[in-house]
Amino acid sequence: MGYVTRIVIIGGGPGGYEAALVAAQLGAEVTVVDCDGLGGASVLTDCVPSKTLIATAEVMTTFDSSYEELGIIVADDTPPLEQAARVVGVDLGKVNRRVKRLALAQSHDITASVTRAGARVMRGRGRLDGMQGLDGSRKVVVTAADGSEETLTADAVLIATGGHPRELPDAQPDGERILNWTQVYDLTELPEELIVVGSGVTGAEFAGAYQALGSKVTLVSSRDRVLPGEDPDAAAVLEDVFRRRGMNVMARSRAQSAKRVGDRVEVTLADGRVITGSHCLMAVGAIPNSAGLGLEEAGVKLRDSGHIWTDKVSRTTAPGVYAAGDVTGVFALASVAAMQGRIAMYHFLGDAVAPLNLKTVSSNVFTDPEIATVGYSQADVDAGKIDARVVKLPLLRNPRAKMQGIRDGFVKIFCRPGTGIVVGGVVVAPRASELIHPISIAVDNNLTVEQIANAFTVYPSLSGSIAEVARQLHTRKAGGEA
């Protein structure tokens, strides 16, 4: 019997479990060391739970904003004087019980898949122990919950430990009134007045979701606008929708502290203003879980932010040590973590490997409307990083959008001036996460706007707008317009 390559993976999130599946399929002996349950934060406290909560919010929004226009009559016994009362309500306790149930079920499914593939799952915390051995192996010490330790020997180690919510010193979450995004699923009643601090993706998603569920929401943004890292046109649409639905969006307002005053929360801003609510959600970024892993002693270089430095095949500066996911700070997306983990295993085990190409990554903000992006961005074009032509088409002109009562959103595509090759796109629409895929395929395969324009689309459909934008870009190219 020949030698079997030993792989130890520290962390069971998308970066870890996807790597485990690949390594096991390629014949390695794989051990996954995990302390919370496979799926990691993505499945247990972040992506899966938040999108499950948002699924309920989505139904509420669709009902609230469209039913009258679509001619739907709701039988209601509200007394005439209170006729404006909300017709549909939500049982947040029930919603959150479903959220947790689905997250656990997903975690169990992942554990079953990894085990079925032949990998071993160990419950505990792993850390690297010293430098590489003379035979090229690495030692990983696993500490179980009861304090007992076991040392594993590995030919390669993958660090996929993720991150945790960043906290402000004067706004410590208590899990009851002041919350981080992992604690919101313990709420049994809908917050009456929710203050969301942070207008990045997490803050915007939760602000929009709780607004739809019936909370009065104030969104505190330290920047000029909501979603400062996203396409400016898309962010403008979303901010307009938020304000129109009654959200109090406070731009250029940095939160200094948050404290409980009885059953209220007071948030003090940097300019001295004080705002109050029943609850406060802190969404001010994440910190990588890179401490206490023995990384620097093992020769693994960390950035100033605490993220692990990696190259495009997920290698760290220490031979035989790879890293994937949020702990690397490359892109805080489950899809990118999974790709980094798979690439690491392909590379180490000698399989065909393509380096990570961030210009083909598609991502989505699960607000209502959703914002999906792929490839080069408006910021890249404006900064001169790439020369591209742009066409943006509002959904308001789309026949299917008219039928469904969709007023907000657009399709935007970026293509190269000479060749018409598609290099990026933005979709703002309900289920933009589904609509971005044809543009992703185009970007990944260097397709031209002519090819997109010539492919059949269903009539009427929202995807028809993608073809229409491509036709406009192709016509302008043919006509020699800039």
Binding residues for FAD: 51, 126, 326
Q: Which residues pair with 426 in a beta bridge?
A: 373, 412
Q: H or E element: which one contains 120?
A: strand 120-123
Amino acid identity at 89: G
With contact defined as beta carbons under 8 Å apart, do 378 and 236 qualify? Answer: no
Residue 417 burial (CB count, 10 A):
13
CA nearest to 321, candidates 162, 35, 128: 128
CA nearest to 19, candidates 339, 353, 362, 357: 339
**CA 346 – CA 274 distance, rounded (Å):** 53
CA nearest to 10, candidates 126, 141, 181: 126
Contacts with 133 (C-beta within 8 Å, 6 or more apart), sequence order: 139
**C-alpha triplet 81, 86, 91: angle, nearest 5°:** 135
Q: H or E element: which one contains 93?
A: helix 92-116
Binding site, by residue number, is: 51, 126, 198-205, 285, 326
Binding site for NAD(+), by residue number, is: 198-205, 285
Burial of residue 72, with CB atoms counted within 10 A of its CB: 0-12 exposed, 13-18 middle, 19 or more buried:
exposed
Residue 262 burial (CB count, 10 A):
6
CA nearest to 160, candidates 379, 395, 322, 356: 322
With contact defined as beta carbons under 8 Å apart, do 107 and 44 qualify? Answer: yes
Burial of residue 75, with CB atoms counted within 10 A of its CB: 0-12 exposed, 13-18 middle, 19 or more buried:
exposed
Q: What is the largest CA-CA distance in the chain?
A: 83
